[in-house]
Amino acid sequence: MTDLIQRPDMPDGTDGVLDAPIEQHSLWKIRLALFRRSLKANWKLFSSNNVGLAGLVIIGLWAIAAIMPTIFFATGFWSNSVYNPVSGLERNPQTAIVTLVEEKTDPLTEIDRRDMLLDQRIPQDLQIGETFERPLQPAPPDSRHWLGTDPLGRDVMSQLMHGARAAFGLGALAATVTVLIATIVGSVSAYFGGAVDSFFMRLADLLIMIPALAVLIVLGAIIRFELWHLALVIGLLGGFGGVAIVLKSQALAVKVKPFIDAARVAGGSHTHIIFSHLVPNVMPLSFLYMMFTVTGAIQAEATLSFLGLLNVRTSWGLMINLANTEGYLLQGDEYWWLVFPAGMAVTLLAAAFFLVGRAMDEVINPRLRRR
């Protein structure tokens, strides 16, 4: 593994800053230039990986999808009363002609007596063989609702887009917390060693052993679990857990390099050495683990809201939960718009972050590259 700054395969600088005498520029300017230079080199490596690029494109598309509702509502393309993901309702739903039969075989065109008794909108004096124009809820996709409506008459596409927003917010927060904690814990453990190191590493051992979902479920019982709570818990579990171990081993590799000794000889304080020398060199790996954390966070959020343990209003997990509890899931071929978009959304976005992470891994870890 290499650090950002010392790449041998960097193209020659195109930045004037680096070619000019050093004392003319402040330190941050030089750092910025170095950073930009290595970014360029790394991008070249990254973009040669098609699968990683595909992941990036998927993330981009979902990001656009997450922004779209704001534009749609602001421009009046979507009205809040119809397209609100929580309270919206299609008042003029599609209708379908249904026939009352003794034993139904096709739920879209036939109903039996039980359905009739359960649904107040159906005239209760219907006879066998008679037809009736039933409002569809859930309704299949049409020009107004591109992905149809859910059992409560809400727009599936709007829910999907708002779900993306939740996923991004959660993922970003969880990943930031994880990496922030893990970088500091890893660097500090590696730098000081001894008791500090032992303490953090035993803690990490404990955390990677505990099934995170079980913890989240139990925590869900104690507190009203909000999205940001979840992000925080995931961040803490990951940050003090597995990610800290990985970043520590990277920090250990950096610690033995001569420039750390040089900084120490020059009289740098512990804090200075950790934050200006150790942390920046652990950064590339941190970014990588941010990607993997996002994957995990998206999955955890969807799972918890699927189990009904998360206090959220729109979420992909919740959409699947609704389809499942209302019994549409076992008719997945007829009600595909309730079953597939949300599930695919979770899978796609999680996979996209994972793929980007894998591609970054190949950039950072040359041993994995194709020879």
Partner 1 sequence: MVRYFTRRLVQMVVLFLVFITLTWFLLYALPGDIVAQKFATNPNLPPEARQIAIDRLGLDKPIHLQFADYMVNFFQGDLGSSFNQYPRPVTDIIGERLPRTIVLFLTALVTYYWAGFIAGKYLAWRRGKRGEIAITVGGVGLFTVFYPWFALIAIWFFAAEMGWLPISKFLDPSKWRQAPFAANEVFMRLFWTVALTSALLFAVQIIASKVRDVRLHRLVRWGGTAAVIVGFFVYWFAVPAGVEMRLYAADIARHMILPVGVLTAVNFAGIMLLTRSSMLETMSEDFILTARAKGLSEKDVRDKHAARTALLPVTTSLVLAVATVLDGGIITETVFSWPGMGEILVSSVTSEDIPVAVAAFSFIGVLALVGHFVVDMLYGVLDPRIRVSGSQ
- The whole-angstrom separation of Cα 243 and Cα 69 is 35
Binding residues with partner 1: total (CB under 8 A): 48
Question: Hey, what amino acid is at 238?
Answer: G
Quick one: three-class SS letters along 184-243?
A: HHHHHHHHHCHHHHHHHHHHHHHHHHCCHHHHHHHHHHHCCCCHHHHHHHHHHHHHHCHH
Q: Which helix (H) or strand (E) holds 88?
A: none
Q: How far is the CB of 347 from partner 1 (least distance, A)?
A: 5
**Does 316 engage in binding with partner 1 (CB under 8 A)?**
yes
51, 64, 86, 117: residue in contact with partner 1 (rule CB under 8 A):
51
* Binding pattern for the stretch 188-227 against partner 1, x by CB under 8 A and - elsewhere: -----------------xx-xxxxxxx--xxxxxx-----
Which one of the spans 57-65, 105-113, 174-182, 341-349 is the region binding partner 1 (CB under 8 A)? 341-349
For partner 1, which is the closer residue by CB, 254 or 346? 346
9, 276, 330, 366: residue in contact with partner 1 (rule CB under 8 A):
330
**Does 351 engage in binding with partner 1 (CB under 8 A)?**
yes
170, 182, 309, 318: residue in contact with partner 1 (rule CB under 8 A):
309
Question: Hey, what amino acid is at 171?
Answer: G
β 110-111/95-100 pair status: parallel
For partner 1, which is the closer residue by CB, 53 or 329? 329
Handedness of CA 178, 85, 303, 346 (dihedral sign): negative
Left, alpha or beta for 365 (phi > 0: left; psi -120 to 50: alpha)? beta
Q: How far is the CB of 323 from partner 1 (least distance, A)?
A: 9
- The whole-angstrom separation of Cα 137 and Cα 261 is 70
Q: Which residues bind partner 1 (CB under 8 A)?
A: 51, 205-206, 208-214, 217-222, 242, 295, 299, 302-303, 306-309, 316-317, 320, 324, 329-333, 339, 342-343, 346-347, 350-351, 354-355, 358, 367-368, 370-371
